[in-house]
Amino acid sequence: MQKQDICCIKCGKFLLTEQKDDQNRIRCVAGSYENGFYDEFQDEFFCLECAKKEGYEV
Ligand SMILES: [Zn+2]
């Protein structure tokens, strides 16, 4: 089973861990999506502080 830690691309702060289940669905097994901000166009995760600094509305 594939596990992936998601960290802020700016400061490296840990946000959450994603894991694929048997049906290949991605679910969050640690942390929370609410810890960070996801830019779906760039496919990048930021922590909330860095997202604000980058000018995103969080
Ligand atoms: Zn950050």
Convert the pLDDT of each residue in 1-57 to its tens digit: 689 999 999 999 999 999 999 999 999 999 999 999 999 999 999 999 999 999 998
| C-alpha of residue 15 to centroid of ligand 1, in Å | 9
- Say if residues 13 and 47 touch (Cβ distance below 8 Å): yes
Q: What is the DSSP letter of 45?
A: E
| C-alpha of residue 18 to centroid of ligand 1, in Å | 18
Place of tokens 């969050």: 28
> And the tokens for 34?
């609410």
Total-model pTM: 0.83
| C-alpha of residue 4 to centroid of ligand 1, in Å | 17
